[in-house]
């Protein structure tokens, strides 16, 4: 017994007592693995047998060193996560560039297409004309709606189709995606639809012990949100960032969407059973709010007799490639805008803010979108400059859902009537 006690004292004098949690040698920095179940492990001291006070002092310094090392690792990890969460996408998405800045204008040595020198632009415009004709064969008697939809496509804006069920809103959107050979996803909005069902979510993988991001339907070229006002306000708000900035933020990480990216949402009129009105902040993200309305009797008769299959969009062949569409969108950004035309747009917007019948006028985003839509209309008509006629033709569709009237029980027709009055009373630049 006395021999064992002397052996134990000798072992304590020749070693340092280090907690089991320490997994790195205090002097050499080499890592080791614990194989015993004892609470304490002993490591030989490199300088012989220290005194008892030196042993305690060394233990305190080792504990402080380990604590500082753990804190430093946590701070470094948090810094990397924060840098990754707040970093911008690696590729530039044209959403915040100035409309007429020097960066947006082509240089002399630039290879960007222009209306006067690029042959591909003329071919793309011909293909757009073929797409327009094909859509007219699918949707009878709605030429104005088809033209507005193509204008929104070139202006990189989203479209809200509002009308009663069964007039061809979803068919029009699916036909456009088929003719342009775009990757599209369709989401049927219901009250129990969650934001993760649209954006995607992170799924835990037991095999690797990590989270893997699974993208949702929003990661496509054309998203069809059918009956969007049947979804809850929480789910509706999931599309705000996607429509405004062409990106989504999930778990603190930003994900860039496809290019081009377009949202075509359909909704039933307000007052229908099971509908949630879209808030003003979400309505302001849409470039156009269009109404399909019922077809005229002659067009409906042709629709009944000329349709051999139930779903005509399945028989459509692509008439234009996605890269051609992107080139044409670049051309739209380069269309010349005279200062008088820009001043005319600002005058119209300010008139909606001063009108006594209007509670909330058109926002600055509305004026920017009106200018971009006018540029797209000019391209479709073969011009490289914007006219006041382009602004007048698009003002009602662009601004009718961006103003709020003071009277109760209003609808889109009342707002359109106010805007027509504004157009008539505003002086047109010459």
Joined together, the tokens standing for residue 349 give: 């917007």
Instruction: Report helix, strand or coil for 158.
Output: strand
- Choosing from 291, 315, 333, the residue where a domain stops is 333
Q: Which residues pair with 222 in a beta bridge?
A: 184, 262
pLDDT at 308: 54
Task: Select, from the ranges 127-136, 254-263, 302-311, 366-375, the one with the highest average predicted confidence (pLDDT).
Answer: 366-375
Higher local confidence (pLDDT), 123 or 36: 123
pLDDT at 20: 46
Over residues 159-179, the pLDDT tens digits come to 998 877 788 888 888 888 889
Over residues 186-240, the pLDDT tens digits come to 899 988 899 889 998 888 888 888 888 889 999 999 998 988 888 888 888 888 8
Q: Is the pLDDT of residue 50 over 70?
A: no
C-beta atoms surrounding 202 within 10 Å: 14
Instruction: Report helix, strand or coil for 264.
Output: strand
Q: What percent of the chain has pLDDT over 70?
A: 71
- Cα–Cα distances (Å) from 366 to 146, 150, 362, 397, 400, in that order, read 21, 19, 6, 11, 10
Higher local confidence (pLDDT), 305 or 4: 305
pLDDT at 10: 55
pLDDT at 32: 44
Higher local confidence (pLDDT), 429 or 268: 429
CA distance 328 to 347: 29
**Mean pLDDT, rounded, for 36-47:** 45
pLDDT at 205: 86
Residues 341 and 329 in one domain: no
Residues 77 and 171 in one domain: no
- Choosing from 64, 85, 106, the residue where a domain stops is 85
Confidence of residue 91 (pLDDT cuts 50, 70, 90): very low
**How big is the CA angle at 174 (ends 172 and 179), to the nearest 5 degrees?**
95
Q: What is the DSSP letter of 296?
A: P
Joined together, the tokens standing for residue 275 give: 């509908």
**CA dihedral for 31, 33, 39, 43, sign (positive or negative):** negative
Q: What's the Rg (C-alpha) of the chain?
A: 32
Backbone angles phi, psi at 359, to 5 degrees: -85, -45
C-beta atoms surrounding 57 within 10 Å: 12
**Mean pLDDT, rounded, for 359-365:** 90
Task: Select, from the ranges 122-131, 232-241, 290-299, 328-337, the one with the highest average predicted confidence (pLDDT).
Answer: 328-337
Residues 46 and 188 in one domain: no
Residue 362: CATH number of its domain: 1.10.8.80
Residues 162 and 244 in one domain: yes
DSSP H helices, 98-141, are: 119-138
Residues 238 and 377 in one domain: no
101 within domain boundaries: no
Q: Is the pLDDT of residue 364 over 50?
A: yes
pLDDT at 147: 92
Residues 302 and 363 in one domain: no
Sequence-separated contacts (24+) of 270-274 with Cβ below 8 Å = 270/229, 270/411, 274/191, 274/230
Residues 296 and 375 in one domain: no
Q: What is the mean pLDDT of the chain?
A: 76
* Number of domains observed in the structure of the chain: 3
Instruction: Report helix, strand or coil for 39.
Output: coil
Containing domain of residue 221, as a range? 114-333
Residues 7 and 146 in one domain: no
**58 CB burial (10 A radius; 0-12, 13-18, 19+):** middle
**Mean pLDDT, rounded, for 400-414:** 76
Residues 324 and 352 in one domain: no
Higher local confidence (pLDDT), 211 or 30: 211
Confidence of residue 79 (pLDDT cuts 50, 70, 90): low
Residue with tokens 């969650």: 194
Residues 206 and 233 in one domain: yes
Q: Residue 217 in contact with residue 198, Cβ under 8 Å?
A: yes
């Amino acid at each position: 017994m006395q021999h064992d006690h002397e052996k134990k004292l000798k072992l304590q004098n020749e070693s340092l007592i280090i907690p089991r949690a320490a997994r790195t040698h205090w002097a050499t920095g080499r890592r080791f693995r614990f194989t015993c179940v004892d609470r304490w492990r002993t490591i030989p001291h490199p300088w012989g047998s220290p005194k008892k006070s030196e042993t305690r002092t060394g233990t305190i310094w080792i504990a402080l060193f380990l604590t500082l090392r753990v804190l430093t690792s946590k701070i470094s990890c948090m810094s990397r996560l924060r840098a990754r969460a707040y970093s911008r996408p690696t590729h530039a998405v044209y959403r915040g560039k100035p409309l007429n800045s020097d960066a947006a204008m082509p240089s002399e040595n630039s290879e960007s297409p222009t209306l006067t020198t690029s042959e591909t632009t003329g071919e793309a415009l011909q293909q757009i004309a073929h797409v327009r004709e094909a859509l007219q064969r699918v949707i009878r008697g709605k030429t104005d709606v088809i033209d507005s939809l193509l204008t929104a496509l070139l202006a990189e804006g989203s479209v809200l189709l509002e009308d009663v069920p069964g007039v061809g809103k979803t068919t029009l959107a699916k036909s456009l995606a088929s003719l342009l050979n775009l990757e599209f996803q369709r989401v049927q909005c219901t009250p129990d639809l969650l934001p993760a069902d649209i954006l995607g979510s992170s799924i835990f993988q037991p095999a690797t012990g990590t989270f893997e991001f699974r993208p949702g339907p929003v990661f496509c070229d054309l998203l069809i949100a059918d009956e969007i006002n049947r979804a809850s306000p929480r789910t509706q708000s999931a599309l705000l960032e996607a429509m405004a900035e062409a990106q989504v933020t999930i778990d603190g990480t930003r994900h860039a969407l496809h290019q081009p990216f377009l949202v075509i949402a359909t909704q039933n009129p307000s007052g229908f059973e099971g509908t949630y009105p879209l808030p003003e902040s979400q309505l302001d993200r849409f470039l156009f709010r269009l109404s399909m309305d019922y077809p005229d009797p002659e067009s409906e008769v042709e629709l009944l007799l000329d349709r051999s299959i139930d779903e005509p969009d399945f028989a459509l062949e692509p008439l234009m490639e996605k890269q051609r569409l992107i080139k044409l969108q670049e051309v739209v950004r380069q269309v010349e805008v005279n200062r008088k035309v820009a001043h005319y747009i600002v005058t119209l917007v300010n008139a909606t803010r001063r009108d006594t019948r209007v509670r909330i006028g058109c926002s600055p985003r509305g004026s920017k979108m009106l200018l971009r839509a006018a540029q797209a209309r000019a391209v479709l008509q073969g011009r490289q400059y914007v006219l006041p006629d382009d602004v007048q033709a698009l003002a009602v569709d662009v601004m009718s859902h961006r103003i709020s009237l003071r009277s109760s029980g209003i609808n889109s027709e009342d707002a359109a009537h106010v805007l027509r009055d504004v157009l008539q009373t505003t002086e047109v630049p010459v």
